[in-house]
Structure 1
């Protein structure tokens, strides 16, 4: 609930609804989700490194990165002839984490957090305690890392 209803614009008639739909479309592609998760887990990566991690060609990966750059989700740094990409939008990372959390819950398996004994909720998916960080999508459990808290 908004403390000051004159400032809050999150109603169904908000001027930002169409823009919000564009943001959701931008991050709703499975390859772009994989890119965001790979950058979350590995930090700065080249196109070739990302392509290998997400299982796509460098050309396809570059096309997805161009869209993510346009949406200001990722940033790029050139080092000689190579480009390196990193996440620059914390909210996009959290949005993807929330979507993954919801997908796990929708399958009736509970989230990776709940299976690992962490408090329920999507926040940990975006922080360093995510039991699923750094694992492939075919794994069904935690990656074995120690909880650092």
Structure 2
């Protein structure tokens, strides 16, 4: 039982950043997007966006799918949409 709480706490830690919450919300609304689209939406350097995406990928919240030269990120954790809906 404690292991489940630890996993949930780690998930919440990853989400507990305004940029990552914004990225998640954008991906939920827009669907799969690449770093260029996200950079334009958030007006941040590509390296900053990539760092946040890396943390979300490491937490298995989203994944990247390569299409040609671009990688499109999409949410794969079904709990995320419910969590974001509660926060609105």
Tell me the TM-score normalised to structure 1 length.
0.55
What number of residue pairs does the alignment pair up? Answer: 88
Q: Which has the higher strand share?
A: 2
Post-superposition Cα deviations, 1:47-93, rounded to whole Å, max 9, x if no partner, equal 01012212322110011001111111111111222111111112022
Q: Which has the higher helix share?
A: 2
Q: Which runs of 5+ in 2 are unaligned?
A: none
Which 4+ stretches in 1 moved above 3 angstroms? none
Tell me the TM-score normalised to structure 2 length.
0.89
Q: Give yes or no for the alignment of 1:71 onto 2:56.
A: no
> Are the equivalent residues in 2 in contact too, given 1:27–1:92 (CA < 8 A)?
no
CA-based RMSD of the aligned residues comes to: 1.3
SS for the counterpart of 1:89 is coil
- Per chain length, whose mean CA-contact separation is higher, i.e. which structure has more relative contact order (CA < 8 Å, sep 6+)? 2
Q: Which runs of 5+ in 1 are unaligned?
A: 1-8, 101-149
